[in-house]
Amino acid sequence: MISVEALLRKEVQHLAEEAFHRKLISGYGDGPDTHEYQIVFQGKPRHFPLEHARSFLCDLLFDSKLDKYSEEYSAELSV
């Protein structure tokens, strides 16, 4: 049986890969502590507990999606 922490780590890894692919972060990986995850954001490595890393990445991905749709909507209005 997979532990809740292992599932959470897998989800954080997936979110980090997506954020990296979209160039929202410049690096990611396991932190020095087994309960932490490292995310390089704006050139600075930050160590988050897994729950906070998940929330941070979800917010970052959601905000970038909103920005994208806002730009598309603004472009449609100017036509």
Sequence-distant (6+) residues with CB within 8 A of 43 are: 26
pLDDT for the residue numbered 31 = 86
In this prediction the pTM is: 0.79
pLDDT in tens, 1-38: 579 999 999 999 999 999 999 999 999 999 888 889 99
Could you give the angle at which helices 50-77 and 4-21 cross, rounded to 10 degrees? 30
Comparing 69 with 68, which gets the higher pLDDT? 68
**Residue 53: pLDDT band by 50, 70, 90 thresholds?**
very high
Helices (H), 1-79: 4-21, 50-77
pLDDT for the residue numbered 77 = 54
Neighbours of 58 (CB within 10 A): 14
